[in-house]
């Protein structure tokens, strides 16, 4: 067989690129192709920008065969691996068949809905995810992963490129349909084999896409999921990296330093919105000041959002950052280090206290492996972001390098962004890391100047001897590193757990997006000190969920000027105290949004 990479085959006829173009006279060897004239180019970008996934507003008008033919021919011109053209298109119009298919999708939609946290479930119920019966034509795009035989160029090491090729056919179809005024809605609530059997697909064909196609009166300007508040578009500059992953920025601009960028984006609260919230609290049908602390919470939420009333902080997501600590070797905790990894498995399985509290509050739990000293199996709900398998012992040297501290901070920023882009309107901090109260105490001393005896607590519960040792370990660490609170990255690197760095980044990310973040106990508090040292205005986004039993936490809260919402003597961590405060923060916003005013309700004010 001829080597397909060796160049043009002499038997294949004249090279179409040799010599001047017969139409324009342009010589392709010396002149570059000019692209399309501006108007045609604009039309291409226009169809890309205005293509929408359409779920509602379909018209019953039939789609003429010639229009459908053009759209399918456009799909068939997609690029494909080794030019294997692995797609087939199954055009379905039969009502009875569509009813059976709609029933298959409805079952999986209901199963998905049952798995959602309560706040998300409400939003999902309002969404329409399939138009199988509202559209005159449904088109299934399949993939034959074997088409072209075993020597298909480019498919050997990446067999998934066959599926990618069929997806490109979907893209072409979607764009051509938009140009024809046809809406397309992609439905993926199927068990692939169930659907394949309904369609009589041979066993070696995969279903790639189920598309509902029909005329519409208008196309929405934005994705429906964005308009409905389910998810947001990520800025393109977050998606473009220069040379290496992580050096983000658009071509022609300097690569952005994500941390510097996020810090620059954090601003002070909006005093106008805060004044409006205070004024509204005074006009609400209740005695002035009678909501106590919650009035301040509502005012701070308004200041953060920059409007009054502020949006409801819902849905919410608890991010549990898990990592191990080298200082565990100093005997500061009665628990073996392996418990960190074991608890991660418990969070992911839904069996920890934070899962129970989050279920009660209608919040989602996401677990992040930011530095657990074990290989963790990839499972849904666990984000693999390991910086290293645990930190070093800070009594012997820095817990981590500066680069690792920056990496942890950046990971936290990105997780905050992703969770907000996924539709969350309130972030909640959680943590897991055996020995992390020791690292927290050191961080708190470094940032606030507190004495180790004042900032160190008994963590999960230790005897007097271990407690004395723990204080001494913190003191030794401080003496060794002589931390400079004006260098927050250096302080994190000296003592921090990876979860402290990531939580600090998480707080900065939330503050930059002006989304409230509810802090759990002493670990989140230590991270908030680092965040405040990097960007003092970040604290405007922070709400202290509770006061933990750890003495360092009280030191932290008074240093940051935050008042805890719940004070129940909790000392568990995981995010439990913060989740308990979630309904309080949500109620504060809801009251400001929904309670009538004296004038609107016709209730007499106190004279
Ligand atoms: C692979 C894939 C599967 C999808 N599955 C569904 C679905 O099951 N139901 C639905 O309503 N939309 C589905 N969509 C549509 C997306 O929600 C939609 O493309 C996205 O929100 C962006 O909106 P836009 O296409 O209008 O830009 C799917 C899209 C893709 C690419």
User: What is the atom index within ligand 1 of the atom nearest the CA of 222?
Assistant: 26
CA atoms of 361 and 581, how far apart (whole Å) = 9
pLDDT at 101: 96
Over residues 160-190, the pLDDT tens digits come to: 999 999 999 999 999 999 999 999 999 999 9
Over residues 546-573, the pLDDT tens digits come to: 999 999 999 999 999 999 999 998 989 9
pLDDT score of 5 more than 70: no
CA atoms of 185 and 298, how far apart (whole Å) = 40
pLDDT at 237: 85
Over residues 418-449, the pLDDT tens digits come to: 999 999 999 999 999 999 999 999 999 999 99
Of all protein residues, the one whose alpha carbon is nearest to atom 18 of ligand 1 is 53
In this structure, of 21-25, 349-353, 500-504, the range with the lowest mean pLDDT score is 21-25
Of all protein residues, the one whose alpha carbon is nearest to atom 28 of ligand 1 is 186
Ligand 1: which of 53, 123, 192 to mutate, judged by most atoms within 8 Å of the beta carbon?
Answer: 53
**Largest CA-CA distance found in the chain, in angstroms, rounded:** 100
CB-based contacts of 421, cutoff 8 Å, min separation 6 = 231, 232, 233, 234
Kind of pairing, strands 364-371 and 205-215? unpaired
CB-based contacts of 236, cutoff 8 Å, min separation 6 = 250
Handedness of CA 336, 337, 340, 345 (dihedral sign): negative
pLDDT score of 3 more than 70: no
Phi/psi of residue 393, nearest 5 degrees: -75, 115
pLDDT at 12: 64
pLDDT score of 230 more than 90: no
Q: Is 432 helix (H, G, I), strand (E, B) or coil?
A: strand
pLDDT at 1: 44
> What stretches of 306-375 show up as alpha helix (H) in DSSP?
339-349, 353-361
CA atoms of 547 and 174, how far apart (whole Å) = 53
Q: Is 377 exposed, middle or buried (0-12, 13-18, 19+ CB in 10 A)?
A: exposed
Question: Rounded mean pLDDT of 272-284?
Answer: 97
What's the alpha-carbon Rg for the chain, to the nearest Å?
29
Ligand 1: which of 186, 187, 225 to mutate, judged by most atoms within 8 Å of the beta carbon?
Answer: 186
Ligand 1: which of 188, 222, 233 to mutate, judged by most atoms within 8 Å of the beta carbon?
Answer: 188
Question: Rounded mean pLDDT of 44-52?
Answer: 98
185 Cα–ligand 1 center, Å = 7
Phi/psi of residue 321, nearest 5 degrees: -90, 125
pLDDT score of 232 more than 90: no
Over residues 503-524, the pLDDT tens digits come to: 999 999 999 999 999 999 999 9
pLDDT score of 60 more than 50: yes
Handedness of CA 419, 423, 429, 434 (dihedral sign): negative
pLDDT at 550: 92
pLDDT score of 10 more than 50: yes
Of all protein residues, the one whose alpha carbon is nearest to atom 7 of ligand 1 is 187
Structure tokens at 4: 């397909």
CA atoms of 321 and 50, how far apart (whole Å) = 39
* Nearest in space to 539 (alpha carbons), one of 555, 565, 519, 568: 519
Over residues 346-355, the pLDDT tens digits come to: 999 999 999 9
* Residue at token pair 């498995």: 345
CA atoms of 100 and 520, how far apart (whole Å) = 49
249 Cα–ligand 1 center, Å = 27
Name every protein residue with a CB atom under 6 angstroms from any ligand 1 atom: 52-53, 55, 129, 185-189, 223, 225
pLDDT at 606: 77
91 Cα–ligand 1 center, Å = 20
User: What is the atom index within ligand 1 of the atom nearest the CA of 188?
Assistant: 8
pLDDT score of 409 more than 80: yes
pLDDT at 2: 46
From residue 151, give the alpha-carbon distance in Å to each of 78, 87, 206.
20, 18, 20
Q: Which residues pair with 518 in a beta bridge?
A: 428, 543
Q: What number of CA atoms fall less than 13 Å from residue 201's CA on the CB side?
A: 24
Active site residues: 574
User: What is the atom index within ligand 1 of the atom nearest the CA of 52?
Assistant: 26
**Residue 24: pLDDT band with limits 50, 70, 90:** confident
pLDDT at 178: 98
Question: Rounded mean pLDDT of 52-62?
Answer: 94
Over residues 448-493, the pLDDT tens digits come to: 999 999 999 988 788 999 999 999 999 999 999 999 999 999 999 9
CB-based contacts of 312, cutoff 8 Å, min separation 6 = 425, 586, 589, 590, 593
User: What is the atom index within ligand 1 of the atom nearest the CA of 220?
Assistant: 26
pLDDT at 128: 82
Of all protein residues, the one whose alpha carbon is nearest to atom 30 of ligand 1 is 186
In angstroms, the first-to-last Cα distance of the chain is: 98
53 Cα–ligand 1 center, Å = 6
pLDDT score of 238 more than 60: yes
Average pLDDT over the chain reads 94
pLDDT score of 33 more than 70: yes
> What stretches of 487-550 show up as alpha helix (H) in DSSP?
488-495, 498-512, 522-534
310 Cα–ligand 1 center, Å = 29
Sheet holding 182-187, edge to edge: 87-92, 137-144, 205-215, 182-187
Q: What is the share, in percent, of the chain residues with pLDDT greater than 90? A: 81
pLDDT score of 28 more than 60: yes
Q: How many CB atoms lie within 10 A of CB 548?
A: 30
Calculate helix-pair angle for 522-534, 488-495, nearest 10 degrees: 150
225 Cα–ligand 1 center, Å = 9
pLDDT at 257: 83
pLDDT score of 541 more than 90: yes
User: What is the atom index within ligand 1 of the atom nearest the CA of 129?
Assistant: 11
In this structure, of 5-14, 69-78, 322-331, 448-457, the range with the lowest mean pLDDT score is 5-14
Over residues 523-536, the pLDDT tens digits come to: 999 999 999 999 99
Backbone torsion region of residue 229, taken as left when φ is above 0, otherwise alpha when ψ lies between -120 and 50, otherwise beta: left
227 Cα–ligand 1 center, Å = 14
């Amino acid at each position: 067989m001829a080597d397909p990479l060796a160049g043009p085959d002499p038997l294949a006829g004249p090279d179409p690129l040799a010599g001047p173009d017969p139409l324009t006279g342009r010589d392709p060897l010396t002149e570059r192709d000019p692209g399309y004239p501006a108007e045609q180019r604009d039309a291409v970008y226009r169809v890309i920008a205005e293509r929408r996934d359409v779920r509602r507003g379909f018209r019953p008008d039939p789609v003429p065969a010639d229009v459908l033919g053009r759209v399918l021919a456009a799909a068939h011109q997609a690029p494909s691996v080794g030019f294997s053209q692995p797609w087939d298109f199954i055009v379905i119009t039969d009502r009875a068949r569509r009813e059976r298919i709609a029933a298959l999708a409805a079952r999986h939609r209901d199963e998905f809905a049952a798995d959602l946290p309560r706040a998300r479930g409400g939003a999902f119920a309002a969404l329409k995810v399939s138009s199988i019966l509202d559209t005159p034509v449904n088109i299934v795009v399949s993939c034959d992963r074997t088409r072209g035989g075993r020597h298909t160029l480019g498919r050997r090491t990446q067999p998934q490129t066959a599926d990618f090729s069929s997806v490109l056919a979907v893209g072409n179809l979607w764009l051509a349909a938009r140009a024809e005024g046809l809406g397309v809605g992609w439905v993926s609530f199927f068990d692939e084999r169930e659907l394949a059997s309904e369609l009589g697909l041979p066993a070696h064909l995969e279903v790639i896409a189920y598309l509902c196609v029909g005329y519409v009166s208008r196309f929405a300007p934005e994705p429906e999921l964005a308009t409905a508040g389910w998810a947001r578009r990520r800025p393109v500059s977050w998606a473009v990296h220069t040379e290496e992953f992580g050096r983000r920025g658009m071509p022609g601009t300097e690569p952005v330093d994500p941390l510097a960028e996020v810090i620059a984006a954090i601003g002070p609260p909006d005093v106008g919105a805060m004044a409006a919230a205070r004024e509204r609290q005074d006009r609400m049908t209740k005695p002035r000041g009678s909501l106590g602390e919650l009035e301040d919470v509502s005012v701070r939420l308004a200041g953060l959002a920059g409007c009054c009333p502020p949006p409801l902080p819902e849905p919410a997501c608890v991010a549990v950052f898990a990592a191990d600590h080298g200082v565990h070797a100093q005997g500061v905790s009665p628990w073996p280090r392996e418990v960190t990894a074991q608890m991660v498995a418990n969070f992911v399985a839904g069996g920890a206290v934070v899962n129970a509290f989050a279920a009660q509050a209608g919040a989602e739990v996401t677990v992040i492996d930011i530095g657990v000293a074990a290989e963790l199996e990839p499972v849904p709900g666990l984000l693999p972001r390991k910086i290293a398998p645990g930190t070093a012992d800070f009594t012997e040297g820095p817990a981590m390098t500066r680069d690792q501290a920056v990496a942890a901070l950046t990971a936290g920023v990105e997780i905050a962004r992703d969770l907000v882009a996924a539709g969350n309107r309130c972030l909640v901090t959680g943590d897991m890391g055996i020995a992390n109260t020791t690292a927290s105490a050191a961080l708190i001393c470094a940032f606030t100047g507190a004495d180790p005896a004042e900032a160190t607590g008994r963590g999960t519960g230790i005897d007097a001897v271990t407690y004395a040792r723990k204080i001494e370990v913190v003191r030794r660490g401080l003496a060794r590193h002589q931390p400079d609170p004006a260098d927050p990255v250096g302080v994190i690197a000296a003592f921090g757990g990876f979860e402290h760095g990531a939580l600090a980044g998480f707080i900065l990310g939330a503050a930059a997006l002006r989304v409230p973040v509810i802090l759990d106990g002493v670990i989140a508090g230590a991270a908030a000190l680092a965040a405040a040292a990097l960007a003092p205005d970040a604290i405007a986004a922070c709400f202290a969920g509770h006061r933990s039993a750890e003495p360092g936490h009280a030191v932290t809260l008074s240093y940051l000027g935050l008042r805890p919402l719940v004070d129940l003597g909790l000392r568990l961590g995981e995010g439990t105290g913060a989740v308990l405060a979630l309904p309080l923060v949500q109620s504060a916003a809801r009251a400001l949004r929904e309670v009538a005013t004296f004038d609107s309700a016709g209730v007499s004010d106190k004279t």
